[in-house]
Structure 1
Amino acid sequence: MIRFEDVSVTYDGAAEPTVRGIDFEVPEGELVLLAGPSGVGKSTVLGAVSGLVPHFTGGTLRGRVTVAGRDTRTHEPRELADLVGTVGQDPLSHFVTDTVEDELAYGMESLGLAPDVMRRRVEETLDLLGLAHLRDRPIATLSGGQQQRVAIGSVLTPHPSVLVLDEPTSALDPAAAEEVLAVLQRLVHDLGTTVLMAEHRLERVIQYADQVVLLPGPGAAPVLGPPAEVMAVSPVYPPVVALGRLAGWSPLPLTVRDARRRAGDLKQVLENAAPKGRGEPRDQPQPTRSRQHSAHPTPVGEVRALSVTRGRVQALHHIDLTITPGETVALMGRNGAGKSTLLNALVGLVKPSSGTVRLGEATPHRTAPKDLVRMVGLVPQEPRDLLCADTVAAECAAADRDAGAAPGTCRALVTELLPGVTDGTHPRDLSEGQRLALALAVVLTARPPLLLLDEPTRGLDYAAKARLVAVLRALAAEGHAIVLATHDVELAAEIAHRVVLLAEGEVIADGSTADIVVSSPSFAPQVTKILAPQHWLTVSQVRAALHPEAG
């Protein structure tokens, strides 16, 4: 169905091809997962299937890409629209109408489908993706995850033969991600739809893949094969595979169920060991700043009886939250629960309808931005909202000026988070994950006592996530308070001292990470599910117990 024949893509002004030697075939009716580290060209490969590369992006495509026999170099995207449905990393750039129902119908209108067919397919898709209650909502009022589901739905309604998806679950909560992936599996198995998908959260998708295409890195040829075989050699792999490698299991398990069946001996070895690391009650933050050494440090942020109404939607209702120095808090909950709204209230972008938000003695929405930047920093879901310069160097210089920091401060953070990115690189030429890391460096330049991150691991591979975790742990150790709104349960298990669960704008649970996630089937990380009823959260905890001398 999809065939790549010795394909390379070189963008205008680039010294080297972004991808080269891409040669593989995706059979009809299979779900093929495209995996690899950030920045290796996965989005470029996907773009070549829909014709966006090179017709929209520019550059030179060598070799041949065909979809059902159509050459994408000689067929523009509109000439492939009846065949290929595409959802990119950024759902906002995908939308052309204002409301959910209109967006689901738009693609079918463009193809001239009959009104009764359109009506039936819209209803089916609303039910498939759990969007029926949002049908009349303006898209601009939806959460990032809800927008992601609408974007996926809008390409499902025309019933394309091929679906190309770039990070389709990155903004979805665990339950919504499972729903979307179940829908994709049904399309593949029941309708013979061909799916090519790139995804960094392999723990969510690897079990659904028929084959995996691994892009190992610059200059290396793609590796194509069954998921277990590719995971055995891949530089990126989910926690279930990491645990299998640590335990020496062969073949490697790809699902929690497979791993649980093999985990008996490992659980016996670990039975008398105690997990050490984030989330344990005894592992409370110990900030090093002298002004925070008192038994009851002054909170860096306090929310009292906070309610926020946006239009007709009650986004937050009577929220109480105290954030102390050195503490890392994970805000979790389904899409639309109010996580982003709470972060925006803390940074002064949203005015409370009632209640109070305080940062020390300051009220965020009444504080001048030049003063607020030294109190709190927010890395939003869309990092490009913070980036306005033409080069990485210019972004860093501006961040140093705005923060009153020594020249080179921001660049040093970029080097730590994004090794190999040059000063002259334009932010738009970075991958989604690389842009997020650049935005984080810009915010961190001011060293705010309170750091807020909204879905900080969207677009990040496991190595980039590990670098982010190391940076955030170091900041917490220095006394910075960190609040993450995240659907990434593995990140929360790795870094959070505390989890706050939101539902329908209210706090429904607030406690240590171990207490909250171990008891939750939706928010438990893979290692917890595999080794239950023992309370292990991460592979690093298990490794430390098995090999204490390495610590």
Structure 2
Amino acid sequence: MIEFDAVTVIYPDAAEPVLSGVDLRIGEGELCLVAGPTGSGKSTLLGAVNGLVPHFTGGLLRGRVRVAGRDTRTHRPREFAGHVGVVGQDPLAGFVTDTVEEELAYGMEQLAVPAAVMRKRVEETLDLLGIAELRRRPLRDLSGGQQQRVAIGSVLTAHPRVLVLDEPTSALDPTAAEDVLAAVTRLVHDLGVTVLMAEHRMERVVQYADRMLYLPGDGRVLDGPPTDVLAGGPVLAPPVVELGRLAGWEPLPLSVRDARRRAPALRARLAGRPRPSRPEPGSAAALTARQIVVRYGEIIAVRKVDLDLRVGEVVALMGRNGSGKSSLLWALQGSGRRRHGTVDVTGRDPAELPARKARRLVGLVPQTPSDLLYLNSVAAECAQADRESDARPGSCRALLDRLAPGIDDAVHPRDLSEGQRLALVLAIQLTAAPPVLLLDEPTRGLDYLAKARLSEIVTELAAAGHAVVLATHDVEFVAGTASRVVVMAEGDVVADGPTVEVVVSSPAFAPQVAKVLSPDPWLTVAEVEQALT
């Protein structure tokens, strides 16, 4: 179905090719997980499948890429529209209509699908992805996760033979991610669709993959069954695999179910050993919010929420897509809608201050970080951040190098990968180091190493007296970083307590290690390793 023959891709002004001499043969009905560090070339590999690389992105492609017998050198990307469905990292950037139903039908209209067939496929896709209640909603009013499901649905309606997904579950809550992956695997098993899926949250996908394509970042592509690739060297791996490496299990487990079968001996070794403690936050209040209400027309996104943040506290804000997490963050920051309620940060309400002064009290990294980038180079963005924050020159750049090393100063922010762009915005906001920092989906597009670095930075900020709120669906990041978890549903707070108490008792929000070693309250591989040494 997909053939890569000696494919090398190099972009203008780049010192080294992103892909070098890649040979691949991907058959019909295979689910391939594409993994690797941020900026290693995953999006380039996916873009080469339908000719977006190099016809749209620029650069030079040597070698040959064929899909269903069509050569990307002689066929333009539009000629692959009926064969290859592509969902990018930023769903909103790909929308061309106003409502959900219109977006699902648009691609079929361009392919001249009969009206009766279009209606049937729209209904099937709405049910398949669980978004029937959204059919008439404006796309811009949806949460990030809801937008992502619509984006996937908009390409599924065309019934492509190849489906290319770039971070398809990054903005989805765990339950919604499982639903989307179940739909994708159904397409693979029942209809023979070939799927290439780039995903940093490998713990969600690897157990379903037939093959794994791992890009270490030096132009190569390691190809093979997931167990072989993950066992073959210093490859980024999900927690269940890291736990298997620590315990010496062979073959390595790919799922919680596989690991639980071998866990009794490990649980016996851990019996009676104390779980490492986490630093306690201070008693002083960093932010106090009372009776916060956010409305969008008839929709109440946040319902009379009270929230107290303490100095030195890292709080994870969790809940399904559309539960009100982002709306609450914007209300706390002061620039979002707030129909009712008060926010107090050191005696002041950010909503009553000029924007620049409000940012000094409460910093916010939104779900779409590119909204905060407006200069022509990475160096200019970093220098501006240092000036606005009255920080020592080079502070922002140093933070960026910790999160995503190796980004060229001269690169335009729009030419960065999604993960690199997020790392840049995180560095800009972290440079200001306000008393309260709000991060909305801060790990989206980040690999495991970058998330570990972000966790270190967040922990350091908390130790220095800052309060940090992480609105996220990344249960593994929460398990290793947050001291407290607040769960929202339909605008209400339905759970609030220490991380270990909230996530271990939740089937949806429990990390892999907690599921494997249940009922013992272990959260991360690092905790297990520390207890065993």
Give the TM-score normalised by structure 2: 0.98
How far did 1:5 drift? 0.8
Q: Which residue of 2 aligns with 1:190?
A: 190
Matched, 1:226 2:212: no
How far did 1:208 drift? 0.7
C-alpha distance in 2 between matches for 1:376 and 1:355: 17
SS of corresponding position for 2:360: coil
C-alpha distance in 1 between matches for 2:439 and 2:190: 39
* Pairing 1:244-283 to 2, within 5 Å after superposition: 244-278=244-278, 283=279
Paired letter, 1:386: L
SS of corresponding position for 1:263: helix
Paired letter, 1:284: E
Q: Which residue of 1 aligns with 2:129?
A: 129
SS of corresponding position for 1:24: strand
How far did 1:385 drift? 0.9
How far did 1:407 drift? 1.9
1:351–1:365 CA contact under 8 A, matched in 2: no
How far did 1:405 drift? 2.0
- The answer to which of 533-542 and 51-60 deviates more is 51-60
Q: Which residue of 1 aligns with 2:34?
A: 34
2:281–2:310 CA contact under 8 A, matched in 1: no
How far did 1:76 drift? 1.0
2:350–2:361 CA contact under 8 A, matched in 1: no
RMSD (Å) for aligned C-alpha atoms: 1.1
Q: Which residue of 2 aligns with 1:380?
A: 366
Q: Which residue of 2 aligns with 1:289?
A: none
How far did 1:182 drift? 0.3
Paired letter, 2:85: G
How far did 1:253 drift? 0.3
2:504–2:514 CA contact under 8 A, matched in 1: yes
Matching residue within 416, 428, 431 for 1:430: 416
Q: Which residue of 2 aligns with 1:204?
A: 204
C-alpha distance in 2 between matches for 1:323 and 1:178: 32
Matched, 1:315 2:301: yes
1:54–1:73 CA contact under 8 A, matched in 2: no
C-alpha distance in 2 between matches for 1:17 and 1:428: 19
Q: Which residue of 1 aligns with 2:377?
A: 391
How far did 1:543 drift? 0.3
2:351–2:358 CA contact under 8 A, matched in 1: no
1:373–1:403 CA contact under 8 A, matched in 2: no
SS of corresponding position for 2:308: strand
Q: Which residue of 2 aligns with 1:460?
A: 446
1:125–1:153 CA contact under 8 A, matched in 2: yes
C-alpha distance in 2 between matches for 1:40 and 1:142: 31
Structure 2 portions without partners, runs of 5+? none
Matched, 1:176 2:171: no
Q: Which residue of 2 aligns with 1:442?
A: 428
C-alpha distance in 1 between matches for 2:260 and 2:493: 32
C-alpha distance in 1 between matches for 2:117 and 2:346: 58
Matched, 1:143 2:129: no
2:295–2:337 CA contact under 8 A, matched in 1: no
How far did 1:370 drift? 1.7
Give the length in aligned residue pairs: 532
SS of corresponding position for 2:432: coil
2:161–2:193 CA contact under 8 A, matched in 1: yes
Matching residue within 461, 470, 482 for 1:484: 470
Once the two structures are superposed, residues 273-330 of structure 1 have per-residue CA deviations (whole angstroms, 9 ceiling, x without a partner) of 121144xxxx4225xxxxxxxxx31x22111111110122111001010011100000
Q: Which residue of 1 aligns with 2:109?
A: 109
1:37–1:235 CA contact under 8 A, matched in 2: no
Paired letter, 2:460: A
Once the two structures are superposed, residues 139-193 of structure 1 have per-residue CA deviations (whole angstroms, 9 ceiling, x without a partner) of 0000000000000000000100000000000000000000000000000000000
C-alpha distance in 1 between matches for 2:273 and 2:129: 42
SS of corresponding position for 1:445: helix
- The answer to which of 103-112 and 429-438 deviates more is 429-438
C-alpha distance in 2 between matches for 1:277 and 1:3: 51
Q: Which residue of 1 aligns with 2:532?
A: 546
C-alpha distance in 2 between matches for 1:274 and 1:102: 56
Once the two structures are superposed, residues 170-221 of structure 1 have per-residue CA deviations (whole angstroms, 9 ceiling, x without a partner) of 00000000000000000000000000111000000001100101112214x3
* Pairing 1:502-513 to 2, within 5 Å after superposition: 502-513=488-499
C-alpha distance in 2 between matches for 1:112 and 1:371: 54
- The answer to which of 378-387 and 253-262 deviates more is 378-387
Q: Which residue of 2 aligns with 1:474?
A: 460
2:30–2:210 CA contact under 8 A, matched in 1: yes
SS of corresponding position for 2:89: coil
C-alpha distance in 1 between matches for 2:49 and 2:277: 44
Matching residue within 402, 412, 415 for 2:398: 412
2:38–2:404 CA contact under 8 A, matched in 1: no
Q: Which residue of 2 aligns with 1:403?
A: 389
Paired letter, 1:164: V
C-alpha distance in 1 between matches for 2:50 and 2:328: 38
C-alpha distance in 1 between matches for 2:224 and 2:396: 41
SS of corresponding position for 1:165: strand
C-alpha distance in 2 between matches for 1:236 and 1:417: 16
2:18–2:217 CA contact under 8 A, matched in 1: no
- The answer to which of 415-424 and 517-526 deviates more is 415-424
How far did 1:360 drift? 2.1
How far did 1:30 drift? 0.7
How far did 1:392 drift? 1.2
SS of corresponding position for 1:158: coil
How far did 1:92 drift? 0.8
Once the two structures are superposed, residues 502-523 of structure 1 have per-residue CA deviations (whole angstroms, 9 ceiling, x without a partner) of 0001000000000100100000
SS of corresponding position for 2:444: coil
Once the two structures are superposed, residues 320-362 of structure 1 have per-residue CA deviations (whole angstroms, 9 ceiling, x without a partner) of 1001110000000000000111111111121321121222222
Paired letter, 2:12: D
1:245–1:252 CA contact under 8 A, matched in 2: yes
How far did 1:11 drift? 1.6
1:166–1:197 CA contact under 8 A, matched in 2: yes
How far did 1:239 drift? 0.2
Give the TM-score normalised by structure 1: 0.95
Structure 1 portions without partners, runs of 5+? 287-295
How far did 1:78 drift? 0.8
Matching residue within 278, 285, 290 for 2:281: 285
Paired letter, 2:531: A
SS of corresponding position for 1:534: coil
SS of corresponding position for 1:22: strand
1:48–1:54 CA contact under 8 A, matched in 2: yes
SS of corresponding position for 1:66: strand
1:277–1:541 CA contact under 8 A, matched in 2: no
2:245–2:252 CA contact under 8 A, matched in 1: yes
Of all paired residues, the percent bearing the same amino acid is 63
- The answer to which of 18-27 and 103-112 deviates more is 18-27
- The answer to which of 398-407 and 465-474 deviates more is 398-407
C-alpha distance in 1 between matches for 2:274 and 2:182: 36
Matched, 1:338 2:321: no
C-alpha distance in 2 between matches for 1:175 and 1:275: 28
C-alpha distance in 2 between matches for 1:60 and 1:459: 25
